[in-house]
């Protein structure tokens, strides 16, 4: 069988809508954790996968273990020396897989002749800058721990505005096979570009993925697993309606993190 590997390298360009901002990624300290134990989790923000680059604003983030379809918030601690946000979750008892999720309310950035400026259109224009475009990006991310071949909890829907839901059980994922996911936007199947890569695939360049595909009308996307390790699967929806005086468009980003043995 012929292998097809898509490698995409994207560079930021002044004056272009920032499709390739920092991605928000959950990285548990272990994907197979002791039941009932406290598990350390990193929340990373980066252009390089998976290399920590900056600490997001914790006041805009909710993160924690998912119980009965709801995120139970953990205490988040910004860790500037390590360029990450730290928190911990209590691993559920029992034999089922568990979800960790995080949601971040977006920041507004404006494109001006003097470069990118943080703040709403109204605020940046009040500073004397000419704004050509203002956009806000909301971010969502999930990770699956303790996957079990006899359990379907891995496919639970958390209700993120943009969500990557696995169809393939991570416990069954194998190198050389396809990993199937469903992309949901507002709870409905979404046809959109889907990118995937694994930890360490490329650390020399920003925004570089190992695989590209598109979800179909049922929201289904198939990712060819080309290496064992920690994989991230990313979906995006762009140019949703804005808010007058605040931003012209709203963008959504969502990442699922799984481990492939």
Whole-number Cα distances in Å, 206 to 22, 137, 201, 238, 252: 10, 19, 11, 20, 19
Q: Are 39 and 30 in contact (CB under 8 A)?
A: yes
Q: What is the pLDDT of residue 1?
A: 33
Q: Quick: pLDDT tens for 32-61.
A: 999 999 999 999 999 899 888 899 999 999
**Is the per-residue pLDDT at 31 higher than 90?**
yes
Q: Is the pLDDT of residue 27 over 90?
A: yes
Which tokens in the block code for residue 64? 């924690």
Cα–Cα distance for residue pair 147/173, rounded to 1 Å: 10
Report residue 10's pLDDT band, with 50, 70 and 90 as the boundaries. very low
At 20 the pLDDT is 52
How much is the pLDDT for 9?
A: 35
Mean pLDDT of 72-76: 97
The DSSP secondary structure of 220-257, one letter per residue, reads: EEEEE--SSEEEEEEEEEEEEEEETTTEEEEEEEEEEE
CA dihedral defined by 160, 214, 48, 225, rounded to 10 degrees? Answer: 100
Residue 189: alpha-carbon gap to chain centroid:
18
Q: Mind listing the pLDDT tens digit for each residue in 95-127?
A: 789 999 999 999 899 999 999 999 999 999 999
pTM of the entire predicted model = 0.89
Q: What pLDDT, on the 0 to 100 scale, is given for residue 105?
A: 94
| Cα–Cα nearest to 249, from 163, 102, 135 | 135
pLDDT at 147: 94
Summarize the confidence of residues 233-261 as an average pLDDT: 96
Find the mean pLDDT for residues 178-190.
98
């Amino acid at each position: 069988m012929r292998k097809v590997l898509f490698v995409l390298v994207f560079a930021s360009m002044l004056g272009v809508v920032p499709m390739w901002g920092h991605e928000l990624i959950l990285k548990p300290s272990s994907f197979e954790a002791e039941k009932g134990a406290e598990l350390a989790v990193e929340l990373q923000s980066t252009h390089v996968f998976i290399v920590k680059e900056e600490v997001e604003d914790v006041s805009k983030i909710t993160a924690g273990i998912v119980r009965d379809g709801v995120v139970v918030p953990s205490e988040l601690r910004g860790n500037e020396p390590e360029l990450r946000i730290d928190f911990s979750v209590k691993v559920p008892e029992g034999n089922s897989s568990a979800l960790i999720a995080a949601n971040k309310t977006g920041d507004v950035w404006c494109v001006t002749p003097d470069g990118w400026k943080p703040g709403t259109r109204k605020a940046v224009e009040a500073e004397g800058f000419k704004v050509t475009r203002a956009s806000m990006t909301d971010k969502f991310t999930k990770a699956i721990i303790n996957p079990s071949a006899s359990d379907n909890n891995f496919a639970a829907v958390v209700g993120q505005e943009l969500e990557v839901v696995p169809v393939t059980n991570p416990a069954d994922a194998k190198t050389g096979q396809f990993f199937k996911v469903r992309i949901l936007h507002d709870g409905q199947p979404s046809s959109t570009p889907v990118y995937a890569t694994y930890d360490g695939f490329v650390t020399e360049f920003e925004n570089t993925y190992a695989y590209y595909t598109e979800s179909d009308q049922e929201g289904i996307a198939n990712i060819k697993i080309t290496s064992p390790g920690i994989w991230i699967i990313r979906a995006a929806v762009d140019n949703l309606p804005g808010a007058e005086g605040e931003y012209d468009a709203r963008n959504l980003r969502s990442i699922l993190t799984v481990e492939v043995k």
